[in-house]
A and B are shown apart, each in its own frame.
Chain A
Amino acid sequence: MLSFRKIALVAIGAALVVVAPAVGKSVTGSASADLPARITGGDAPPPIPSIVNTRLVRAEAALGRSTADYDENQPAQAVVPIGAALSNTTKAWGAEKYIIKTTPPPPAAGAAEDGTGGGATAYAGPEDTGFAILSAQHDVLTTSVGMIETTNAALQKSLLSTISSAASAMKTEVTYIHSIAPPPAADGVQADGTGAGSTWATVMPNLVPVLQDEIQQLAGRQALNKFPSAVASALSAARLRAIDTMNQINTWWPPVPAG
């Protein structure tokens, strides 16, 4: 009797330990440790709206299947899941556009500085949701780059297409966000009066280190491996596109000077 009680508790704990690092970004700590503390209340961030979250969870699961197939020496089977991962992030962005169009701006008093939406909303706002999608696309791209040395022609073709598509999608999304976002104001209050909380101006600069990481991986893989010219030129193109996107973000949402 006791053993099953223990199993039930251990099962929850084990699930949290096993799944969180797989889906989260860092392997050195729990996924939730990546989060900045909230200004008030607990440290738990609001969840991503289900219309997007279900897609992101499926994209991450597909990435896991894809690398598992590849590492199990079944590269041909990795083609479908890598396509599914890309497709789910594309659909997640479609859902995000719907959220952007249908979510009213939060009241000024309910906004929290860390962009988690404050006390006014139970779920993450469009800005944090958009950032989650961009991060997932980054994961799709970096995971694909990690398998690019494959000798399986079908998988290589699929990976190159995924890398190119993910890089293009990120650039398109950044451009779209710029087209709808109010210009950042020097005092941290947006022109739309939503206060100093979760705004595109506070969220978008966080994409710069993500893109730097992508650029480092693309450059590093080319420095460490000798790829066929088609692969090398595709990786170079993706790197240039990431640099372009990063420069665009720095222009549109310039980093706040220190102090």
Chain B
Amino acid sequence: MKMRSFRTLAVPALALGLLLAALVAGAARATAPPAEATGSSAVAPLPSIVNTRIVRVEATLARMGASADANQLSQVPPRLSNALGQTADAWGAAKYVIMTTPPTPVGDALGDGNGGAAGAYAGPEDTAFAVLSLQHELIAATATMINKSAARTASLRKSWFKTIVSAQNRRNAAIAFIHKRKPADPTWATVMPGLLPQLNDEAKELNGDVATTKANRTLRKSMLSVRKNALKTLGLVKKYWPPVPAG
């Protein structure tokens, strides 16, 4: 009986959660954007030119996960391709923001990329960081798809690794662009080390995948190769923006 009651609870709980979220989100619109420079823990929203892309990539990744969970694997490659394209467009828009917006004053951008407090919208540094995080999200979501049985389908296997390698290459290009264009801007030095935990997380996920999927030699080789790419990027970020020594 008790078991049944919790089963029945799950659905109303989900509905309640959705309702609460809708109410909270609806109410949240009342006072956006955050304009307070002090005394507020507000997170600045991203500029729409980038934000619309990020929202769409995340929705596409959610649909991709849903189709994989529903065992409709043929729908995965086109969705990955779409997410990859949108991520590239998001970076193109972020480059436009970097090139046309004055830098955020030092101290206003946050190391975690959560937006500066000075402006109503996130500055170029946090906007770029959000796109770099999106690339990580895309890689991580794609890596989650990798499994031994699905890897027998060549189109799926190609789609996974094409997505991961392209996202990694584009992220490297973005890092190089930021470093080349803004070498002396101190705000980047506070934001970019925020990539290190993401890259560690990525390498860890790929390591875990290698260990748990019992992959054959070819699959294992591909997985180790993308893991190596993540570690190379980690080294690059450490070299360009060395972490500040503690104390």
B25 x A220 contact (CB < 8 A): no
The docked-state distance in angstroms from the alpha carbon of A5 to that of B2 is: 10
Asked if A34 is at the interface (CB within 8 A of a chain B CB), the reply is yes
The docked-state distance in angstroms from the alpha carbon of A14 to that of B14 is: 8
Neighbour of A31 across the interface among B9, B25, B54, B59, CB < 8 A? B25
**At the interface, is chain A mostly helix, strand, loop or mixed?**
helix
For B49, what are the chain A residues with a Cβ–Cβ distance below 8 Å? 142, 216-217, 220-221
For B78, what are the chain A residues with a Cβ–Cβ distance below 8 Å? 73
Most buried by A among B26, B39, B46, B97: B26
The docked-state distance in angstroms from the alpha carbon of A143 to that of B49 is: 9
Neighbour of B96 across the interface among A35, A214, A223, CB < 8 A? A223
The docked-state distance in angstroms from the alpha carbon of A235 to that of B69 is: 40
Asked if B68 is at the interface (CB within 8 A of a chain A CB), the reply is no
Asked if B33 is at the interface (CB within 8 A of a chain A CB), the reply is yes
The docked-state distance in angstroms from the alpha carbon of A213 to that of B49 is: 8
For B130, what are the chain A residues with a Cβ–Cβ distance below 8 Å? 27-28
Residue of A nearest to B120 (CB): A209
The docked-state distance in angstroms from the alpha carbon of A61 to that of B162 is: 32
Residue of B nearest to A210 (CB): B33
Asked if B217 is at the interface (CB within 8 A of a chain A CB), the reply is no
Residue of A nearest to B134 (CB): A27
Asked if B114 is at the interface (CB within 8 A of a chain A CB), the reply is yes
For B119, what are the chain A residues with a Cβ–Cβ distance below 8 Å? 209
Residue of B nearest to A214 (CB): B48
Q: A8-B13, A210-B33, A213-B121 are in contact. Are A53 and B43 (CB under 8 A)?
A: no
Which of chain A's residues 120-161 have a Cβ closer than 8 Å to chain B? 124, 128-129, 131-132, 135-136, 138, 142-143, 145-146
Residue of A nearest to B18 (CB): A15
Neighbour of A24 across the interface among B25, B41, B113, CB < 8 A? B25
Size band of the interface chain B makes with A: 35 or more
B46 x A27 contact (CB < 8 A): yes
Size band of the interface chain A makes with B: 35 or more
Asked if B172 is at the interface (CB within 8 A of a chain A CB), the reply is no
The docked-state distance in angstroms from the alpha carbon of A44 to that of B56 is: 28
B33 x A209 contact (CB < 8 A): yes
The docked-state distance in angstroms from the alpha carbon of A206 to that of B47 is: 15
B47 x A23 contact (CB < 8 A): no
B47 x A35 contact (CB < 8 A): no
A22 x B43 contact (CB < 8 A): no
Which of chain A's residues 3-32 have a Cβ closer than 8 Å to chain B? 4-5, 7-9, 11-16, 18-32
Question: In the complex, given contacts A24-B28, A37-B40, A142-B52, what are 19 additional A-B residue pairs having Cβ atoms less than 8 angstroms apart?
Answer: A1-B6, A7-B10, A8-B13, A11-B14, A19-B21, A19-B22, A25-B45, A26-B44, A26-B115, A28-B115, A28-B122, A34-B33, A53-B23, A53-B26, A56-B29, A57-B25, A209-B119, A210-B33, A217-B48
> Please, could you name 6 A-B residue pairs with CB atoms under 8 Å apart, sorted by A?
A7-B6, A24-B29, A36-B34, A48-B26, A53-B23, A146-B56
